[in-house]
Chain A
């Protein structure tokens, strides 16, 4: 998705289609969200097939919708592909479960992913990132977005317990889930692509768990942890293990690459900020926050209203589907001055909501933050300059904001 908006134009809120995939591959969604935040903070859309949903685009409302599980439930589905048919995995898949059950399941998993817990992986992650950046050092064109698709798998593979031979396939499958009609991921048609990828991912975790049980193998990996936790005193069912493993694989793989490529693109476009960060590595953590705000790879999540609920821009009826546009919240001028300005020294960048808000706040956030910090430490240290070497190609998805291609050329840094 285009991250630096173009000039403001005419937007007809009555006819705009927020699920139009072309809007995300070649249009300017941020300009539409600007108008929605201003004129229609609660926006109702009916799709051509009759399904309807309400959109919230302001920071405050996005936080309320994502954060308040009593008013807005996750149990009927939280991703736009669930719109129209309630999620069959409700109550079983962690992201489609409300508290208190959600809290019970999440707590033992979350404890493995706290900032303190992931600190021990710093050295191995750094080694992985150095390997990842190595090919760019020769000064030849390097497609950062394409290569970055594999980066989270390289980092999280060992942590999750996934052997290297499976990474490429898993990355392909998770990408199919989030962008089923993108030319890189489409198999047959959209419904088939979604079904194949969900199915193969769930199968993968299921088979993994089965073989672990058979061999009695034990290790410190997150997937193994899924087998041993006892939320509410009971182990997770096989179905829960498979679905939660699938969900963690998805979350790990599909977002970070786009924060990497989108933030690098922003730095290339603003060389004075690139140099500033190079000269002072203490700016990197805030660069990461501003990059998360800027790229908002997880573009939206959905909830369903439980009862009629009144927001500042209107009433959402009971059982209505509500799409919370995180990408828009992160550009809300009520929260972020000059929101469409990328600024690594932005004082409140940490208020960004790219990881969501409330009980379902991204469980991988500390690991993602650490990975991104290390990535930019190594990038800024090794490369003297970066330039674009071609046009980006945008991911065909309204769910994940990202790029499939971003050719760059890097010059190795000469001075220490």
Chain B
């Protein structure tokens, strides 16, 4: 699948990491930086797991509401960076 150029303000490497993390929970799918969480088949069960993993891997507790409104790996990466810089 072609990688799209992301307009994210987050570091490209973080965006890629987030996309790969998501892919673990969407078994059998490749996840790109602008892919929509819900279009991939995501729901609260997936969201709970992803938010837990982000807390483990990055030490950032994403707000539930912000996560589901962010919807793409590149915007979630922005949230993680905001969370890191806030501490």
Find B47's partner among A85, A89, A187, A195 (CB 8 Å cutoff): A195
Encode B43-87 as 1/0 by CB contact (under 8 A) with A: 111011001000000000000110011010000000000000000
A195 to B71, CA, bound (A): 11
State whether A199 touches B47 (Cβ < 8 A). Answer: yes
Q: Is A315's CB within 8 Å of the partner chain B?
A: no
Q: Is A198's CB within 8 Å of the partner chain B?
A: yes
State whether A200 touches B68 (Cβ < 8 A). Answer: no
State whether B64 touches A203 (Cβ < 8 A). Answer: yes
- Nearest-neighbour CB distance to chain A for B40, whole angstroms, equals 11
Q: For chain A, what secondary structure do more than half of its interface residues adopt (helix, strand, loop), or is it mixed?
A: helix
Q: Which residue of B lies closest to A206 (CB)?
A: B48
Residues of B within 8 A of A (CB): 38, 41-45, 47-48, 51, 64-65, 68-69, 71
State whether A203 touches B48 (Cβ < 8 A). Answer: yes
Which residues in window 138-196 of A have CB below 8 A to B? 187-188, 191-192, 194-196
Q: Which 10 A-B pairs have the closest CB atoms?
A: A198-B44, A199-B44, A191-B38, A192-B68, A195-B44, A195-B68, A188-B69, A88-B45, A196-B68, A199-B64
State whether B44 touches A194 (Cβ < 8 A). Answer: yes
Encode A190-216 as 1/0 by CB contact (under 8 A) with B: 011011101110110000000000000
Which of chain A's residues have a CB closer than 8 A to the CB of B69? 187-188, 192
Q: Which residue of B lies closest to A177 (CB)?
A: B44
A156 to B17, CA, bound (A): 44
Which of chain B's residues have a CB closer than 8 A to the CB of A85? 41, 43
A88 to B44, CA, bound (A): 10
CB pairs A–B below 8 angstroms (11 shown): A85-B43, A88-B43, A187-B65, A188-B69, A192-B71, A194-B43, A195-B43, A198-B43, A199-B48, A202-B44, A203-B64
